[in-house]
Structure 1
């Protein structure tokens, strides 16, 4: 891998400063109320630097989604190969919730949910790593005779990911009494029980 030049290192640092400042403001004020000028001011950069690294404020969320997807991929490598598809899906959903709760927090995730739109909604992008991982586990379960085949692997993937999003949404809209990990365990266990042959 080629060594980073001082200019590339500085560009990376600038991008990180902008990203961190924007996410801090989104959590504090909300996405809509945050301006690019405020992001630039807090990050100690310029408007030119902002638009060099991001086309819009929403692209900052896309960066975070890449971070989430990288975590998902990494986590799948820690799952025992001999685990059943149900076990993999349950452990995957548990780790997903813990990661999002601890890395993003409720405020930032609420901001993300309220600012998703049909024109740029990463939540529903079927090319995301999340969908591919869940579909792979579902397919595995169907091939092993663990899951029913009345629905396709794609249909089951849509249902599972919808349950994940719904649990996250409820968490965002609930008070501190909502236990994200406990709730996803209840949802996934009921769902997986229904899928079994």
Structure 2
């Protein structure tokens, strides 16, 4: 599929190519207005439309993430389905076994990510696939017993599959794979990989 071919190419691309793709996507999507329902007058444009909570696990690290979502107004028909997307703001806490004699170490993470979503069956399916790449900042710099990041700023790439449910499809569950690293900007750059479960619900 086109979706997976692009993702494989992107994950193997150089840092410069990744940055250019992210920059082009961001520039083209800045013009996309947040989606508005028919009762837009009662729902200000600056308010997020969706909230989520997410739990994740890496080899040694657990993560709990809360976030807000602003869907894009634009959607595209291509490849037998519908492409759309959203802007995501996320705030998370990572917990890992401590180093230097500490019981546990904690990292606070903030991220901003543009995300593309694909629905098959011309967009009528409740199932979806999605992928995104965003920027994250961590404080303090992440360290676990076996890994040490060298930068506070990193990229976050993810691939997910999920499904909406509820009478108005206002709820969703998704299973996500997410990789964090600085893309080789500095070393060491071991990266960290999470498997995550997300629940999201609409505020409308």
Query: Which of the two has greater strand per residue?
Result: 2
TM-score normalised over the length of structure 2: 0.24
Greater gyration radius: 1
